[in-house]
Amino acid sequence: MKTAGGTTEAKRRAGKRAAHEVEDGFVVGLGTGSTAAYAIDAIGRAIDDGLEVQGIPTSFQSRRRALEAGIPLTTLDAVDGVDLAIDGADQIADDPDSNGYGALIKGGGAAHTREKLVDSAADRFVVVADPSKLESVLERAIPVEVIPDAHTVVAERLRDLGGEPTLRDAERKDGPVVTDNGNLVVDCAFGPIEEPETLATRLSRLPGVVEHGLFVGLADATYVGTADGVDVREY
Ligand SMILES: O=C[C@H](O)[C@H](O)[C@H](O)COP(=O)(O)O
């Protein structure tokens, strides 16, 4: 049986393992969420032991975690490139025989726009996860970041594409979630996504959409923490 403690340990293992890939002098993309946070903490400990790196956070949350961990920060426009990005995922397509093997759904924390920017800029993008994130076919609702004025129009276009859109509401305030970029999030359910690349292209084309949480062909590897180790998938 999977326990909350077991999941925590799996996330910690995956995060630590990915942090081992960080080398002296690297510029590292720092993902958002509870799993990437373990990688950030591990990089911080390596810095205490003498490693020299710079981090690029993907959200307010990862920036704060990185500052707490003592990671020197930089920005995408101040560096020549990103050596490695480490980031979590909400769902990972895990059928090697399918079109979308290694495709991801991200944005459960509304951070997918900056995550996609940083993760796609990296020479290598490693996903860190626990086994609950693995599915043969992606099926979670896709987070779509929209400029505020556009949310009703985009929702209409998403229905045209066969989706069921819902404006994401904040849990601890009246009103919608507002992203780090000042935008809104529409979560759109499409059922099982057999052709993630086709859907990703269609979503990217919609006026008013800033970015969506379907990451296709971006991940280079996934590290899945397990009860006694880490399973590695290279794409
Ligand atoms: O917007 C949030 C991000 O895409 C996260 O990487 C994703 O939600 C996974 O988070 P966690 O590791 O906490 O499940």
pLDDT tens, 57-90? Answer: 999 999 999 999 999 999 999 999 999 999 999 9
Shared domain check, 11 and 119: yes
Q: Is the pLDDT confidence value at 3 over 60?
A: no
Read off φ and ψ for residue 82, nearest 5 degrees. Answer: -115, 125
Shared domain check, 205 and 160: yes
Shared domain check, 94 and 66: yes
Question: Is 31 assigned to a binding site?
Answer: no
Question: Is 33 assigned to a binding site?
Answer: yes
Domain tally, the chain:
2
Shared domain check, 113 and 229: yes
C-alpha dihedral over 74, 54, 35, 135, to 10 degrees?
80
Mean pLDDT of the chain: 96
Task: Output the domain CATH number for residue 50.
Answer: 3.40.50.1360
90 C-beta closer than 6 A to ligand 1: yes
Can you give the pLDDT at residue 1? Answer: 38
pLDDT band at residue 99 using 50, 70 and 90 as cut-offs: confident
Average pLDDT over residues 137-162: 98
Shared domain check, 157 and 221: no
Shared domain check, 130 and 166: no
Q: Is the ipTM of this complex over 0.95?
A: yes
110 C-beta closer than 6 A to ligand 1: yes
Shared domain check, 123 and 30: yes
Distance in Å, CA 167 to ligand 1 centroid: 18
Shared domain check, 166 and 146: yes
65 C-beta closer than 6 A to ligand 1: no
Is 235 exposed, middle or buried (CB count within 10 Å of its CB: 0-12, 13-18, 19+)?
A: middle
pLDDT digits (tens, 9 = 90+) for 5-42: 689 999 999 999 999 999 999 999 999 999 999 999 99
CA distances from 40 to 46, 116, 137, 201 (A): 10, 18, 29, 31
Question: Is 133 assigned to a binding site?
Answer: yes
112 C-beta closer than 6 A to ligand 1: yes
Tell me the C-alpha distance between 9 and 11, whole Å. 5
106 C-beta closer than 6 A to ligand 1: yes
Q: Is the pLDDT confidence value at 124 over 90?
A: yes
Can you give the pLDDT at residue 4? Answer: 59
The alpha helices in the chain, defined as continuous H runs, are 4-19, 34-48, 60-69, 112-121, 151-160, 196-204
Tell me the C-alpha distance between 142 and 190, whole Å. 8
Which residues form the catalytic set? 115
Atom of ligand 1 nearest to the CA of 34: 13
Distance in Å, CA 33 to ligand 1 centroid: 4
Atom of ligand 1 nearest to the CA of 110: 1
Shared domain check, 165 and 110: no
Shared domain check, 78 and 43: yes
CA distances from 156 to 108, 152, 207 (A): 22, 6, 12
Can you give the pLDDT at residue 227? Answer: 87
Average pLDDT over residues 43-57: 98
Distance in Å, CA 112 to ligand 1 centroid: 9
Shared domain check, 100 and 10: yes
CB atoms within 10 A of CB 227: 10
35 C-beta closer than 6 A to ligand 1: yes
Shared domain check, 182 and 121: no
Structural domain harbouring 196: 142-211
Distance in Å, CA 160 to ligand 1 centroid: 28
